[in-house]
Amino acid sequence: MKIIEVKNYQEMSLAAAQYIINMLKNTSKLTLGLATGGTPQGVYQHLIEDYKKNGTSYAQVTSFNLDEYIGLSKDDPNSYYRYMYENLFKHINISLQQINIPSGMNTNLQSECEEYENKIHQHGGIDLQLLGIGSNGHIGFNEPGTSFQSKTHVVGLTQSTREANARYFTSIEEVPTQAITMGIQSIYKSKEILLLASGKAKQDAMVKLLNGDVTESFPASILKQHPNATIIADEEALFGVKDVSLFR
């Protein structure tokens, strides 16, 4: 696992966007794993700016998002489909047919999970997976205790995750209690991983990730064993991490 240390959120966003743009330029077809939340919003803004300015094309991109709330339709302002559409997809030339986000409205959630997992495999796996990290170490909605062998599955959201996400809803009661998420194994199988972290809220998570053990009680820790994982984190997020230089 390699760390690219940057000054602040703006630099993190720009560095991650450049990383993705380089891949887009060097590959004819790309399967991107995408994430929602506050962390990647700046990356998406840079991708949009680059698209407008330089015309970097997404015509050959297929995307798979990490997760979706159960019970929210695509049109719901808080669904991750809507987030992706508003924050990225509607601004670039990606075909809506090539966008994949689990449906939290499928009445057969088990088959939704299996089909999603199969679809990723049929596309030859994910080339680059973009990740944020929860303060409890979650990746996607894989909360502490999730098996490292897990595939796409239904999860109950922890109180801390619902509280962290309540800022997007009018009250915490409105935050769904369940979601569909790619599993840890589904994420780990990506050929390349790019994890982003910015700010004080991620300090504890970075210390546990980088100075702690590989354990299912801290889901992101498995990424330390990944052959091609990079963290782009800012100074504030890395404050308190011992021996950052070991990861450079």
Supply the residues annotated as catalytic: 67, 136, 138, 143
Nearer residue to ligand PGA within complex by CB, 14 or 54: 14
* Rounded least distance, CB 98 to ligand PGA, Å: 24
The per-residue b/e assignment along 78-101, b for 16 or more CB within 10 angstroms, e otherwise, is: ebbbbbbbebbbebbebeeebbbb
* Rounded least distance, CB 245 to ligand PGA, Å: 26
Nearer residue to ligand PGA within complex by CB, 92 or 201: 201
* Rounded least distance, CB 185 to ligand PGA, Å: 18
* Rounded least distance, CB 52 to ligand PGA, Å: 24
- Stated as kind and residue range, the H or E segment containing 210 is helix 203-211
Distance CA 28, CA 174 (A): 42
**Residue 40 is encoded by which pair of tokens?**
């990647």
Per CB under 6 A, residues contacting ligand PGA are: 37-39, 132-134, 138
**Residue 23 is encoded by which pair of tokens?**
């891949």
Nearer residue to ligand PGA within complex by CB, 134 or 183: 134
Nearer residue to ligand PGA within complex by CB, 59 or 172: 172
Distance CA 140, CA 137 (A): 10
Nearer residue to ligand PGA within complex by CB, 60 or 178: 178
**Nearby residues of 212 by Cβ (< 8 Å), 6 or more positions away:** 218, 221
Strands (DSSP E) found in 28-186: 30-34, 61-65, 67-69, 99-100, 128-131, 153-156, 178-181
* Rounded least distance, CB 182 to ligand PGA, Å: 12
Confirm if 141 and 176 have CB atoms less than 8 A apart.
Answer: no
Calculate helix-pair angle for 9-26, 41-54, nearest 10 degrees: 50
Distance CA 222, CA 184 (A): 8
